[in-house]
Structure 1
Amino acid sequence: MIVTVDVGNTRIKAAVFEGDTLLEHFVFDKIELAENIQKILEKFQAIVHLVVSSVGDVDKKSFLVFENQLEVHFVSHEDIFPFTNNYGTPKTLGIDRMVLAAGATLLYPNQNRLIIDAGTCVTYDFVDENNVYQGGAIAPGLRLRYESMHHFTAKLPLLSLQSPENFIGKSTSQSIHSGVVNGLVYEIDGFVDEYKASCKNIIIILTGGDAVFLAKRLKNTIFANSNFLLESLNQTFQYKIKND
């Protein structure tokens, strides 16, 4: 049994797997890490591996305290991945993006894959049908768009995510919601259209904390799975075990 942990820029997500089956998933704040990991281990006492992917600022020591209970693994650039990395600066490619690319490669063989992770940032990662990671794009996510307009202007308010009431905003708040939400929706649809035009046999995977909110607003048909990174962590670790 495996527990996978994704340390993001904002929150921590975790999931318990028995083989390929996701038994339960969790979301909690960074300050609650030790407490929640311990609760998971007490609930699922058959867990023998803790697999961590981190882009956040959580110290590794926070996980190593559990070494007396199970084996702790940190995914790194030195691990074995099921794709060829054609990124120009491979050491700068985020571990989360590499894990997503690995999961897509293993779960959707023999086709082109575009993985869109809508979190604090929105990342676009493309793995071609020959299992070559070609690169992608990084853009600000919904929360960053709201925050940047507030912090870098004198009078715009800081708003929380909300569905736009109208396409044409009739107030400052309505205009911000329309600009932030519709702007990102059109961005994602634009990226998807471009990839579809340039390659056939492509699957589009949307994941991340805002995946469900965005999925129903997109014109393109996509596969939305908010737990795809956690599932990809499990797949990547199993691939590593088989190929070490």
Structure 2
Amino acid sequence: MNLILDVGNTRVKLAVFKEDTLMEQEVFDKEEIVSEVQKKCNKNKISGAIISSVAKLSDDKIKKIEEIVPLVILNHATKIPFVNKYATPTTLGVDRIALAAAAVVKYPKQNVLVIDAGTCITFDFINEKGEFLGGAISPGLKMRYEALHNYTAKLPLLSAEIPKNFIGDTTVSAIHSGVVNGLCNEIKGIIHQYQQEFYNLTVVLTGGDTNFLAKQLKNGIFAHPNFVLEGLQTILNYNTTND
């Protein structure tokens, strides 16, 4: 079994994979990471682990985890199952590296656009040759609502809600229409750009807002809420079998 650790600014996503099947998943505070790793290793026969961190994790915590289980630390020197053609590879986020790895393995020899709908919306493109070419970064759903509130004097801070009509007849409904319809049409427009350039395009939607946006985007998109975790599992396997 493999242990997958996806570390954010304050929280950690932990997953246990048996072969390529996700067996367990949980989220906890970053400060608990060592004790939670110990618990999972005591409970399961963990043969290896990988850690992806978009935030700084102390060297002390890393060392303690390495004392518990063999650990791959995902960075720009880690072996990956695709060709990284990003012009500035050292600036490519580890979450985007994981998404590209998942795309190459799950959709081999296909043109794949991965849309990660989280704090930011990232668009990552991997061509049929297994080459990562890049993509785009845009404000996420929550960030758009917060921007309208923070950069104006009177607009309220709202939580995401599916608009009842694209014509908002109140300030609240106009905000929902602008944010949700605006984002969905942005995504559709970017998908269309890629479809014009690359035939037989596969589109994957992942991230925290997957379920909310999938209802609006509808057909032709594969929803994979755990695509980052699956990509980390792919990279861990790639490193343990290609030593």
Residue 67 of structure 1 deviates from its aligned partner by: 2.8
Match in the other structure for 1:6: 6
Match in the other structure for 2:19: 19
Mapped to 1, the partners of 2:150 and 2:209 lie a distance apart of 22
Mapped to 2, the partners of 1:126 and 1:203 lie a distance apart of 10
Mapped to 2, the partners of 1:231 and 1:61 lie a distance apart of 27
What are structure 2's unaligned runs of at least 5 residues? none
SS in 1 for 2:76: coil
Contact map agreement 2:141 2:180 (CA 8 A) in 1? yes
Mapped to 1, the partners of 2:133 and 2:232 lie a distance apart of 20
Match in the other structure for 2:40: 40
Q: Deviations over 1:109-152 (max 9, x none)?
A: 11111111111011001011111111100001011111111111
Contact map agreement 1:189 1:220 (CA 8 A) in 2? no
Alignment RMSD: 1.9
Residue 100 of structure 1 deviates from its aligned partner by: 0.8
Residue 71 of structure 1 deviates from its aligned partner by: 1.8
Q: Deviations over 1:3-42 (max 9, x none)?
A: 1111235643221001111101123343554454444334
Match in the other structure for 1:170: 169
Letter in 2 for 1:2: N
Match in the other structure for 2:214: 215
Mapped to 2, the partners of 1:153 and 1:5 lie a distance apart of 38
Letter in 1 for 2:150: H
Contact map agreement 2:105 2:234 (CA 8 A) in 1? yes
Cα gap change, 1:9 to 1:184, in 2 (>3 Å): farther
Q: Deviations over 1:171-226 (max 9, x none)?
A: 22211111111111111111111111211122111110111111111154111010
Cα gap change, 1:34 to 1:68, in 2 (>3 Å): closer
1:89 to 2:88 alignment: yes
SS in 1 for 2:179: helix
Letter in 2 for 1:150: H
Letter in 2 for 1:16: V
Match in the other structure for 1:155: 154
Match in the other structure for 1:65: 64
Letter in 2 for 1:3: L
Mapped to 2, the partners of 1:58 and 1:161 lie a distance apart of 31
- Identical amino acids, percent of aligned pairs: 49
Equivalent pairs counted in the alignment come to: 243
Mapped to 2, the partners of 1:206 and 1:20 lie a distance apart of 20
Residue 65 of structure 1 deviates from its aligned partner by: 2.4
Q: Deviations over 1:56-93 (max 9, x none)?
A: 34435334323332122210100111221111111111
Contact map agreement 1:147 1:158 (CA 8 A) in 2? yes
Residue 49 of structure 1 deviates from its aligned partner by: 2.0
